Chains A and B, each alone.
Chain A
Amino acid sequence: MKIDDARLAYVLRLGDNALILGQRLVEVVAAYPELEEELANANFALDYIGQARMFYTYAAELEGQGRGEDDLAFLRDENEFRNVLLIEQSNGHFGETITKLVLFESFYLLQLEALMSCSDDRVAEIAARAEKEIRYHLRHNVQWLVRLGDGTAESHERVQQSLDTLWQYTGELFAPDEVDNLFEAEFDGPDLHAIRERWQANVAAIIAQATLEKPADAWMASGGKEGRHSEHLGYLIAEMQYLQRTHPGATW
């Protein structure tokens, strides 16, 4: 793989993670039972979609094929998206969404921190902008996970189930492939092994504080980074792309 191709693939993955998670959160906008959480969720979605735009704009420039951010978001098929499986999983109940966000953002924050000092200036700039936002999200989401885990018997049981279900999607976050390795070697990118250790420690502490039990590392699902997705992604993409597919070239 050429270095330029690896960089483009890496930036697209960052954009795909942000867009797909943002779109997932958009699904529950105007559906939360509490106004405060409604605001929080909509703010999260907005931040993610904003980050996706910055990554896509850069990816389109790197690609140099005349495509723009909208083409990358609305005119690629499911198997062209390279987001991790964890974030495409359906929202489930409130506690499940919170659990998913804590698992992902604990990783994403460390990834962004590492990217802030990478040698690709544009990625470093976007990471510096995004890192502040994700830190703010994570603080909120950790507080919720602790309250739910250490809450009633029912809330405890339900988030424990979510944690057990979602755990199998965390392995992919830290399994480096050629793109990750090249980006690390050529652009001083994140060291996924080092990040995994820090993530394990941080997440174990949060789980303990929430009086939950950390699932054992067993079989881990993977494939998202190569475009092999779970059944959940297709529905999300269908809804997200409906307007552009039905009315090509439609503008706001």
Chain B
Amino acid sequence: MVELAFSREQVLTWLKEVPDPEIPVLTITDLGIVRGVTVNEEVVVELTPTYSGCPATEVIEQSVIDALHKHGVENVRIKRVLSPPWTTDWISDEGRDKLKEYGIAPPAQSASKRELLHGSRAIACPRCESLDTQVVSEFGSTACKASFKCSDCLEPFEYFKCI
């Protein structure tokens, strides 16, 4: 048995420092894309993509490798897992709070099919909390966001779309 210089808990703590490249206020653990960590002769980190075409996927994988290398973990392997598929429900409560503070409305919870098809739930403005908001575009600057406008404070804001 090889004596390991770090524990699984230690590795998890280090992963909590890796930011999402597109929304740097969130870490990859806030986002809920770390699906598993196995510490043996090599450290295997299981990650799941948010969207199929998310261009951040490769950047995130490299950031995880870099972050662990920095802490002296030499042997790192990334395993991509697809199941169960990521939904916005995987974002942690802490992550939701951070999003709101950053000016992005967090996703409405429970990404059910019904919601996606008939989604008309009022989205609160992250600045003034008003529910009097309107969709400007169901798509936004990244694959995961939609664009909204607050009719009360008139500020445009982004909404982390519910999927």
State the A residues within 8 Å of B (CB).
35-36, 39-40, 42-43, 45-51, 53-54, 121-122, 124-126, 128-130, 132-133, 135-136, 139-140
Contact = CB atoms under 8 A, between A and B. Distances in A.
Contacts of A46: 51, 53-55, 143
A39 B52 contact: no
Interface stretch (B66-74, B95-103, B134-142): B134-142
Contacts of A132: 85, 87, 111, 116, 163
A183 to B, nearest CB: 19
A125 B139 contact: no
A122 B55 CA distance: 21
B117 A139 contact: yes
B137 A50 contact: no
Most chain B CB inside 10 Å of its own CB: which residue of A35, A132, A135, A139: A132
Contact of B139 (A40, A124, A128): A40
Interface in B80-134: 82-87, 111, 113, 116-117, 119
A39 B84 contact: no
A226 to B, nearest CB: 27
Interface in B13-71: 49, 51-55
Most chain B CB inside 10 Å of its own CB: which residue of A43, A125, A126, A130: A43
Given A46-B51, A132-B163, A125 B85 contact: yes
Contacts of A124: 83
A40 B138 contact: yes
24 contacts: A35-B137, A36-B137, A39-B139, A39-B141, A40-B139, A43-B143, A46-B51, A46-B53, A46-B54, A46-B55, A50-B52, A50-B53, A50-B54, A53-B52, A53-B53, A121-B83, A128-B82, A129-B49, A129-B86, A133-B51, A139-B116, A139-B117, A140-B138, A140-B139
Contact of A36 (B54, B117, B136): B136
Contacts of B147: 36, 39
Given A135-B113, A139-B116, A47 B82 contact: no
Interface of B: 49, 51-55, 82-87, 111, 113, 116-117, 119, 136-141, 143, 147, 161, 163
Given A128-B85, A133-B51, 14 more contacts: A35-B137, A39-B139, A39-B141, A40-B139, A43-B139, A46-B54, A54-B52, A124-B83, A128-B82, A128-B84, A129-B82, A135-B116, A136-B161, A139-B138
A128 B138 contact: no
Nearest to A113: B113
Given A128-B82, A132-B85, A49 B136 contact: no
Nearest to A122: B82
B83 A128 contact: yes
Nearest to A142: B117
B82 A54 contact: yes
Contacts of A47: 51-53, 143
A121 B86 CA distance: 16
Most chain A CB inside 10 Å of its own CB: which residue of B53, B87, B111: B53
A124 B85 CA distance: 11
A45 B83 CA distance: 23
Contacts of A35: 137
A129 B85 contact: yes
